[in-house]
Structure 1
């Protein structure tokens, strides 16, 4: 028996896949900064990529623990170069703001459904 409605399972899978897309983007940013010889920036974005993979795995495990099914989608190739350092940082900021918005939308959906299990899980991210 699943603790997830079909809608909630779909939304959690979308978020899991978004975390992986962000990990690809941040790893690409790390490579970009490595190419520029900016090792500090490269390290920072490598750490961010690992964090996103960790988030994806946390969602993956939750879906299965809740009796759901994980559905992975294709991860498109991320952007690989930027016109400036500030452009790359802006893209990172936009991705993080979007990701935060997605978690709030997930929380809203869990509350609409009255799914306290999902709501409790999402508090870790928010």
Structure 2
């Protein structure tokens, strides 16, 4: 019984520490993009690419939820992207944006960088 409690506590601690450190910085995301690009076709099987895709999916889901909530509340909106599936965002555009960020902004969470990019790409008029 005592072993079970300790195992559960260790698992919970591991989960919390992974969750707390799982958010990539803009610089880490850019480095991973560059590494994936250097792999060529082998990138499709890379765990790095899966991590990149998971992080971008996670952040885009948060972004869409935030925009939907802002639109629903009728308050000011962060940015005004076209409806999902109608706007095209190319990876090269994001990579160029991340590459041009100053060193200090490379240390910010990727989420913040993506939100700033979307505000620049889809400003509200």
Task: Work out whether the TM-score is over 0.5.
Answer: no
Taking structure 2 as the reference length, the TM-score comes to: 0.36
